[in-house]
Structure 1
């Protein structure tokens, strides 16, 4: 018979992985970093936030939890604000998605 504590811990781990997969899928779809810039956002990926290097350790909805080198606790970072990602070809700076409303003009009155 399994201990209920083991079962609870396994359920928490399963729920965390499921949440992370959903968050990463949303980030990939919404920001389209891979198709636009060749950036694949993943847990364990190396990033630079405001020039400081770190590792993606978790997600927080549309944001990332990044453990910056030398810090004891992760920081919550926006996916594109001040972020660069390590790719096989080097560091790539993330850019915001184009705002479709920024290019539209108002109809004449």
Structure 2
């Protein structure tokens, strides 16, 4: 394999590693789900199974079984990951800045009088 091909393959793998590290960390997949997004990892998007074949920044490129071209999918939207104990449905990342905005909740100051 020519040097340029090896250099390009190295750059692609480094990009994928960076993207996957971000996805796994940001969405807390290992901590919250006990699963990791990895190249070659099996996923289920809606009702179709497939394999993670690449990344696209903060998204996954998934080759769904029976398809010839990968699709770009969000790491937690309708996505389940294969784990040692079976399929684990991904959930949205909790918003650390979300507050309860009900009239008596902690998001608003207490009401005094009418």
Do both share a fold (TM > 0.5)? yes
How far did 1:101 drift? 2.5
Partner-residue secondary structure (3-state), 1:91:
strand
Q: How many residues align?
A: 105
The Cα RMSD (Å) is: 1.7
CA distance in structure 2 between the partners assigned to 1:80 and 1:46 by the alignment = 14
The answer to which structure has the higher helix fraction is 1
CA offsets 1:23-45 (integer angstroms, 9 cap, x no match): 11111110111111101111111
TM-score, normalised to structure 1's length?
0.89
In the TM superposition, residue 106 of structure 1 has moved relative to its aligned partner by 4.1
Secondary structure of 1:101's counterpart equals: coil
Larger Rg: 2
Q: Is 1:59 aligned to residue 83 of structure 2?
A: no
Q: Unaligned regions of 5+ residues in structure 2, if any?
A: 101-106
| Gapped regions of structure 1 (runs ≥ 5) | none
Say yes or no: does 1:102 pair with 2:105: no
The structural deviation recorded for 1:12 is 0.7
Match of 2:97, SS?
Answer: helix
